[in-house]
Amino acid sequence: YGFDFETIKKELENRMIWISGNISEHFQLQLFSASEFLLLPSINLHSVTIMQAMAAGTIPIVTDTIGTSNYIEDRKDGLVLQGVKNHVWKYNSEYK
C-alpha cells in the first residue's frame, strides 16, 4: 500500500514512549506534561491515570471498560475505544 515501514518505525522511535509497568508518579506527570496523547488500552479502569493525564492537558485514548464513562465522554474529553466492556466483562444488567 505504499507504506515506508522504516520511516514509520524511525518516527515512532523518536516520538512514542511505550511503558508497560510501573513508573514513579513524578516521572509519569512529567511525561503527561510533555505528551499530546495517552493511549491506555486496558480491561481495567485506571481512573487516577486518566485524571492526571487530563489535568496535564494530555488527551486520553482509553477503552470503554466499566467506569470509563465516569471520567470521559467520547469525543468531548478524550476518545473511548468501544468493545471491551461487551467483550470482556460479564455483569448484571443493573450495572450497564
How big is the chain, counted in residues? 96
Q: What is the pLDDT of residues 34-88, one digit of tens each?
A: 889 999 988 889 999 999 999 999 999 999 998 999 999 999 999 999 988 888 7
What type of residue sits at position 35? S
pLDDT score for 27: 86
Q: What is residue 94's predicted lDDT score, i.e. its pLDDT?
A: 62
Report the Cα 26 to chain-centroid distance in Å: 18
Distance CA 59, CA 78 (A): 5
How buried is residue 29: exposed, middle or buried, by Cβ count under 10 Å (0-12/13-18/19+)?
Answer: middle
Residue 90 scores a pLDDT above 90: no
- Give CA angle at 48 (55, 53), nearest 5°: 30
Q: Strands 59-63 and 37-40, how do they pair?
A: parallel
